[in-house]
Chains A and B, each alone.
Chain A
Amino acid sequence: MILPSAGLAFAALLRNKMRSALTMLGIVIGVGAVVMMQSMGGGATEYVSEAISGLGSNMLIIIPGTPRGLGQMTTGVPLFTLGDVDAIRHQARDVALVSAAGQRVERVVYGGRNRSSAVAGLMPEYFQIRAWSVSSGRLFTQEEERQGASVCVVGQTVVDDLYLGQSPIGRDLRVRDKTCRIIGVMESRGASAGMDQDDVVFMPYSSFSRRLVGNDRISAIMASAASADRIDEAKAQIVEILHRRRHIAQGDDDNFAVRDPRDLQAVFQSVMGMLTTLLAGVAAVSLVVGGIGIMNIMLVSVTERTREIGVRLAIGARSRDVLTQFLVEATTLSAVGGVVGVGLGLAGAWGVARGIHVPFVVPAVSTAVAFAVSILVGIGFGVWPARKAARLNPLAALRFE
């Protein structure tokens, strides 16, 4: 009985195309919103995970300032010193690698062309921490770091944009008013978190601080734990060393923070979870409203088609056949709404993903759940009108004007 009913239901819905379309709208919006937001949330999560894993494994970032709220740091606190870097390198047992890190945007000039790029001062360990190497030439050495050599390694964007040609190695690049010799080109990493990772000029930290910054204060320290399961210990050891060196008494507020990119991911995921819950609520409201719309139109339909129901009962439909017919009709409405919603939601999410360059994710579970809920809404809100139809007295229905 279900299959012929589904055919009948489609025919009945097609007879009132506009009305059917408007009735489905609530379901379309509800399901579409869920699917689209889940897809975008999935894409954003994947994007953040990629960005974080791109930073290198077991990485810790040490920055000065007092944590205040979500990611806010006070300014005006002391930066770090080379002594801090050495102390962490030698005293923290579970820290494998340490590098001072500084960065500023500078004008980079070659020949007649120039551009503003991120110029970073780093120690050779940095490249190991981030598991990042050159595609040609070489990285700078500990010897060059010690000497403060005027050398640099550039990213692919800088090479391309300044027309440094096929072999930029050995050419002299001007950074602000200082000259440094290009010794290598970094492997291309593409964009991460909206920033071009190849638009960089790396130079030994000593050279960077002496020639570009003019003092030896360190604005950030990068470190990596000996292994993934020693990250928490490494973090504790760094905190302990810096407490001592920065004379912070037990109980006082820290004036620095050790950041673990995984924390960032956790924060991001909890925010996404909150958004998802919120959205589920909105979608539920939309689905209920859509369901009421379906119930309303089905009640209208039952009244309009009272004579048809009378004829069907007269020619041998059992009341359960009539019940099935109207239930299937309501469910067809909501299921078609669900399909359209899934389609529009995925299309919308795909468009947004393309627009803001994040991965496009098909949220399989959410899609299935949203579709299943749309069917349940049709059944749930279709029962009452369908029962009303099934309980009609055939004679009264036939005589209905």
Chain B
Amino acid sequence: MGSPTSRPAGDGSAPAPLLSLRGVTKTYGEGDAAVRALDGIDLDVVPGEFVAITGPSGSGKSTAMSIFGCLDLPTGGEYRIEGIPVQDLSGDVLAALRNARFGFVFQQFNLLARTPALENVAMPLVYAGVGTRERARRAREALSVVGLAGREQARTNQLSGGEQQRVAIARAIVNAPEIVLADEPTGNLDSKKGAEIMKLLTALNRDHGITVLMVTHDATCAAYARRQVVFRDGCIVRDDGKEAAS
């Protein structure tokens, strides 16, 4: 477990960060072909925040998201979750961490094809070792949170894009995670459906206290967040949170 002294020095009044990137770099490839996707990122996220990460394509925002979600490890620097350095953890522990503390929402929805909504939503609980009956109960509950009560048995192909993304969000929150990571959640939806998804994410953040990290290139969507972080060329060029703090 991480030692308290290694925590970044705060001013004492700010809450301890839930997620913390310190000097994080990420390089893909080697030698001349090496591409530096992240170039020394410092970013703290405290519990209950709703952060939008924006920036042009190739600015490194998706890479940062993958590192936050423990899907990828930094090449340099340090990523800590509640003070615990992630690079020291084994694959199985990372899997358990993703399962228990994170919910993922993808641009492509990534639901199982031709599978009932209930089954899709219950999937994380299978890996958490929850029994069949309890899985169904909690999946039903999550579906009602996203406004899909009664559609439990609808198969993926019978749902509209907006509904599919709602199912994906239900899947992300079924395990009662602290953090939901949303990668372009409205990217495949029209603006009306996109707005509904944004309202849903906002409600999760406000009413359920879930920390939301969202990558988007859509300014309208980013406006729903309470803090905006702008990436360019692997660096943070603007961070509302820091400005507010300073």
A→B interface (CB under 8 Å): 4, 11, 15, 307-308, 310-321, 394-395, 398
Are B92 and A318 in contact, CB atoms less than 8 angstroms apart? Answer: yes
Q: Is B231 located at the chain interface by the 8 A CB criterion?
A: no
List 17 A-B residue pairs with CB atoms under 8 Å apart, sorted by A's residue number: A11-B115, A307-B110, A308-B112, A312-B123, A314-B98, A315-B104, A316-B95, A316-B96, A316-B98, A316-B100, A317-B99, A318-B127, A319-B92, A321-B95, A321-B127, A398-B71, A398-B106
Across the interface, which residues of B come within 8 angstroms of A308, CB to CB? 110, 112
Across the interface, which residues of B come within 8 angstroms of A319, CB to CB? 91-92, 95
Are A315 and B98 in contact, CB atoms less than 8 angstroms apart? Answer: yes
Across the interface, which residues of A come within 8 angstroms of B103, CB to CB? 315
Q: Is B114 located at the chain interface by the 8 A CB criterion?
A: yes
- Distance of A398 Cα from B107 Cα, bound (Å): 11
User: Which of B92, B99, B108, B115 lies in contact with A315, CB distance below 8 A?
Assistant: B99
Known: A11-B115, A15-B113, A15-B114. A316 touches B127 (CB 8 A): yes
Q: Distance (Å) between the CB of B236 and the closest chain A CB?
A: 21
8 shortest A-B CB distances, which residue pairs?
Answer: A316-B99, A318-B95, A316-B127, A315-B124, A395-B71, A311-B110, A394-B71, A317-B127
Q: Distance (Å) between the CB of A309 and the closest chain B CB?
A: 11
User: Which of A307, A318, A395 lies in contact with B108, CB distance below 8 A?
Assistant: A307
Q: Is B154 located at the chain interface by the 8 A CB criterion?
A: no
- Distance of A324 Cα from B115 Cα, bound (Å): 20
Residue of A nearest to B112 (CB): A308
Known: A4-B126, A318-B127, A321-B127. A313 touches B72 (CB 8 A): no
Q: Is B66 located at the chain interface by the 8 A CB criterion?
A: yes
Beyond A315-B104, A319-B92, 14 additional pairs, beta carbon < 8 A: A4-B126, A4-B132, A11-B115, A307-B108, A308-B112, A311-B110, A313-B95, A314-B104, A317-B95, A318-B91, A318-B95, A320-B92, A395-B66, A395-B71
Q: Distance (Å) between the CB of A62 and the closest chain B CB?
A: 75
- Distance of A15 Cα from B119 Cα, bound (Å): 15
Across the interface, which residues of A come within 8 angstroms of B92, CB to CB? 318-320
Q: Is B60 located at the chain interface by the 8 A CB criterion?
A: no
- Distance of A341 Cα from B130 Cα, bound (Å): 36
Q: Is B89 located at the chain interface by the 8 A CB criterion?
A: no
- Distance of A36 Cα from B108 Cα, bound (Å): 50
Quick one: which of B68-110 are within 8 Å of A by CB?
A: 69, 71-72, 91-92, 95-96, 98-100, 103-104, 106, 108, 110
- Distance of A321 Cα from B96 Cα, bound (Å): 12
User: Which of B71, B96, B108, B114 lies in contact with A314, CB distance below 8 A?
Assistant: B71
B→A interface (CB under 8 Å): 66, 69, 71-72, 91-92, 95-96, 98-100, 103-104, 106, 108, 110, 112-115, 123-124, 126-128, 132, 171, 175
- Distance of A395 Cα from B100 Cα, bound (Å): 18
Residue of B nearest to A317 (CB): B127
Residue of A nearest to B91 (CB): A319
- Distance of A312 Cα from B111 Cα, bound (Å): 10
User: Which of A310, A320, A321, A395 lies in contact with B110, CB distance below 8 A?
Assistant: A310
Are B124 and A395 in contact, CB atoms less than 8 angstroms apart? Answer: no
Q: Distance (Å) between the CB of A10 and the closest chain B CB?
A: 13
Across the interface, which residues of B come within 8 angstroms of A317, CB to CB? 95, 99, 127
Residue of B nearest to A11 (CB): B115
Q: Distance (Å) between the CB of A321 and the closest chain B CB?
A: 6
Across the interface, which residues of B come within 8 angstroms of A395, CB to CB? 66, 71-72
Are B171 and A315 in contact, CB atoms less than 8 angstroms apart? Answer: yes
Of the candidates A11, A311, A320, the one having the most CB atoms from chain B within 10 angstroms of its own CB is A311
- Distance of A125 Cα from B168 Cα, bound (Å): 91
Across the interface, which residues of B come within 8 angstroms of A321, CB to CB? 95, 127
Q: Distance (Å) between the CB of A13 and the closest chain B CB?
A: 13
- Distance of A308 Cα from B100 Cα, bound (Å): 19
Residue of B nearest to A12 (CB): B112
Across the interface, which residues of B come within 8 angstroms of A316, CB to CB? 95-96, 98-100, 124, 127-128, 175
- Distance of A312 Cα from B124 Cα, bound (Å): 8
Across the interface, which residues of B come within 8 angstroms of A11, CB to CB? 115
- Distance of A313 Cα from B69 Cα, bound (Å): 11
Across the interface, which residues of B come within 8 angstroms of A15, CB to CB? 113-114
- Distance of A312 Cα from B78 Cα, bound (Å): 26
Across the interface, which residues of A come within 8 angstroms of B106, CB to CB? 311, 398
Across the interface, which residues of A come within 8 angstroms of B114, CB to CB? 15
- Distance of A317 Cα from B124 Cα, bound (Å): 8
Residue of B nearest to A310 (CB): B110
Residue of B nearest to A15 (CB): B114
Q: Distance (Å) between the CB of B57 and the closest chain A CB?
A: 14
- Distance of A315 Cα from B123 Cα, bound (Å): 8
- Distance of A394 Cα from B127 Cα, bound (Å): 15
Residue of B nearest to A318 (CB): B95
Residue of A nearest to B128 (CB): A316
Q: Distance (Å) between the CB of B230 and the closest chain A CB?
A: 23
- Distance of A61 Cα from B132 Cα, bound (Å): 72
Q: Distance (Å) between the CB of A154 and the closest chain B CB?
A: 73
Residue of A nearest to B132 (CB): A4
Of the candidates B92, B96, B104, the one having the most CB atoms from chain A within 10 angstroms of its own CB is B104
Are B96 and A398 in contact, CB atoms less than 8 angstroms apart? Answer: no
Residue of A nearest to B100 (CB): A316
Across the interface, which residues of B come within 8 angstroms of A313, CB to CB? 71, 95
